[in-house]
């Protein structure tokens, strides 16, 4: 064997070993962590039951259904539209493991963009996972995903993303953003078909209100806010007042009519649902953040954001206490409870009554672990 063939063999073996080691970790991302449905879950369905074309695809995802004993209004909660916004996913998990519907029907999709949970955003330094301690000493570990669909499942990106329904153009990578693809289309990309699946569910089940849960960086103007379609504005106004009684300050923004593809705009226009989106403050997404790790995701503390606050650069209060995950989840769950209450007040003949949803003060006091079930 020639000398350079020997070195070629050696570096090839090393490269294959590195590729194998990386593959194990990348493939591990594709295994969803178990969720433990509570007694309120009546059935677990798949989104493909509303759009059969999704069956077997990486876009198919679980839909948890809570049916009350009394008929009433219906609500759809979308968690994990952006899998790098953990309070969105965790709020859905806490509903699945704790909530019950007394009247009406609640639908919860914890991983709206299931593909986005199977990878990380490159060059963001985000942790692969984060863990939450439970009172019994065990812990639950969850994936920190990407904002967008996995490129392995939808590739290549176009140079320019054209929103099919409006012709609006955006950066090419937005083609994998679930919250730019509504109302979706049958012959579109995987992301657009997931959007269509969600819209099909809303139409078929006559969902009265759809709440899309998100997080945003503290320097983003729309934060600690509800964004509401114009038909949902009266209801959202009541929710803002209701949250004020809990001392939860939240803004109310109208859904822009010219920014297309977003859930609060397209689902409100294309279906009969009242479409709203809620945002909390997550410094681990921001461009001003320092070290990006599991601690930042969970504690929401970052000295650079404290400095930015002092310089008047943020749209949300920010001090050394940060915005911990329990506060962000508590805001979402309080908003969901208030929307159910406001909807029931408006439609007393068709109430949507939820029980078991962790309340704002107890979540702040006890933390998320107190409301998560230990793994068997």
Partner 1 sequence: MTYLYLAIAACMLALTVWNLWTEKDWRKQASAAMVAIPLLLRVLMIK
Contact set with partner 1 (CB under 8 A): 4-5, 7-8, 11-12, 14-15, 18-19, 22-23, 26-27, 119, 152, 155-156
Smaller CB separation from partner 1, 152 or 241: 152
Using the minimum distance from each CB to partner 1, give the nearer residue, 15 or 241: 15
Q: Give 7 or 166: the residue with its C-beta nearer to partner 1.
A: 7
Kindly tell me which of 42 and 173 has the beta carbon lying closer to partner 1. Answer: 173
Instruction: Please state the closest distance from residue 155 (CB atom) to partner 1, in A.
Output: 5
Q: For 79-183, where are the E strands, in sequence order?
A: 100-109, 129-133, 139-143, 160-162, 169-171
- Work out how close the CB of 8 gets to partner 1 at its nearest, in angstroms, rounded to a whole number: 5
Nearest to 227 by CA among 216, 327, 218: 216
Angstrom distances, CA of residue 81 to CA of 76, 138, 179, 334: 13, 28, 7, 19
Q: Which is nearer to partner 1, 24 or 311 (CB)?
A: 24
Contact 76, 109 (CB under 8 A): yes
Q: How far is the CB of 114 from partner 1 (least distance, A)?
A: 17
Shortest Cβ 3–partner 1 spacing (Å): 8
Q: Is 136 or 159 the residue whose CB approaches partner 1 more closely?
A: 159
Within 8 A by CB and 6+ apart from 57, the residues are 48, 153, 190, 193
Nearest CA to 176 out of 199, 200, 156, 196 is that of 156
Integer CA distances (angstroms), 181 to 49, 169, 278, in order: 20, 12, 18
Beta carbon of residue 183, minimum distance to partner 1 (angstroms, whole number):
23
Nearer to partner 1, 16 or 44 (CB): 16
Instruction: Round to whole Å and give the CA distance between 299 and 317.
Output: 15
Q: How far is the CB of 7 from partner 1 (least distance, A)?
A: 4
Q: What are phi and psi of 154, to 5 degrees?
A: -150, 100
Beta strands in 79-229 (DSSP E): 100-109, 129-133, 139-143, 160-162, 169-171, 209-216, 225-228
Q: Which residues have CB under 8 Å from 177's CB, separation 6+?
A: 82, 147, 148, 149, 191
Measured distance CA(278)–CA(240) in Å, rounded: 11
Give the shortest CB-303-to-partner 1 separation in angstroms. Answer: 33
Residue 8 or 55: which CB sits closer to partner 1? 8
* Nearest distance, CB of residue 361 and partner 1, angstroms: 43
Q: Cβ closer to partner 1: 26 or 341?
A: 26
- Alpha carbon distance 340, 342 (integer Å): 6
Least distance to partner 1 from the beta carbon of 19, Å? 5
Q: Residue 129 pairs with which residues in a beta bridge?
A: 143
């Amino acid at each position: 064997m020639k000398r350079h063939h020997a070195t070629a063999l050696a570096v090839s073996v090393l490269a294959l070993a590195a590729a194998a080691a990386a593959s194990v970790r990348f493939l591990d991302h594709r295994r969803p962590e178990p969720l433990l449905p509570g007694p309120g879950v009546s059935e677990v369905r798949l989104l493909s039951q509303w759009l059969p074309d999704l069956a077997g695809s990486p876009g198919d995802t679980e839909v948890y259904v809570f049916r009350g004993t009394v008929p009433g209004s219906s609500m759809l909660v979308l968690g994990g539209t952006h899998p790098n916004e953990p309070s969105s996913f965790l709020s859905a998990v806490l509903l699945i493991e704790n909530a019950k519907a007394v009247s009406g029907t609640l639908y919860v999709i914890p991983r709206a963009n299931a593909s986005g949970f199977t990878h990380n955003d490159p060059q963001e330094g985000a942790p692969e996972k984060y863990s939450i301690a439970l009172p019994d000493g065990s812990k639950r570990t969850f994936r920190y995903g990407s904002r967008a669909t996995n490129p392995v499942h939808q590739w290549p990106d176009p140079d320019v993303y054209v929103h099919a329904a409006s012709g609006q153009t955006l950066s090419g990578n937005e083609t994998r953003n679930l919250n730019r693809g509504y109302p979706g289309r049958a012959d579109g990309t995987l992301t657009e078909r997931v959007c269509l699946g969600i819209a099909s569910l809303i139409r078929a089940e006559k969902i009265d209100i759809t709440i899309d849960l998100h997080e945003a960086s503290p320097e983003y103007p729309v934060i600690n806010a509800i964004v509401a379609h114009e038909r949902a504005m009266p209801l959202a106004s009541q929710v803002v007042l209701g949250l004020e009684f809990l001392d939860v300050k939240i803004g109310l923004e109208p859904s822009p009519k010219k920014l297309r593809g977003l859930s609060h705009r397209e689902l409100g226009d294309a279906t009969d649902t009242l479409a709203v989106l809620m945002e909390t403050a997550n410094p681990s997404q921001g461009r001003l953040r320092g070290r990006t790790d599991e601690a930042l995701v969970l504690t929401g503390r970052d000295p650079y954001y404290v400095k930015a606050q002092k310089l008047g650069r943020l749209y949300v209060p920010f001090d050394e206490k940060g915005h911990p995950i329990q506060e962000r989840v508590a805001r979402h769950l309080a908003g969901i409870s208030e929307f159910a209450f406001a909807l029931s007040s408006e439609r007393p003949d068709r109430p949507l009554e939820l029980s078991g949803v962790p309340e704002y003060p107890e979540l702040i006091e006890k933390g998320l672990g107190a409301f998560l079930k230990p793994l068997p």
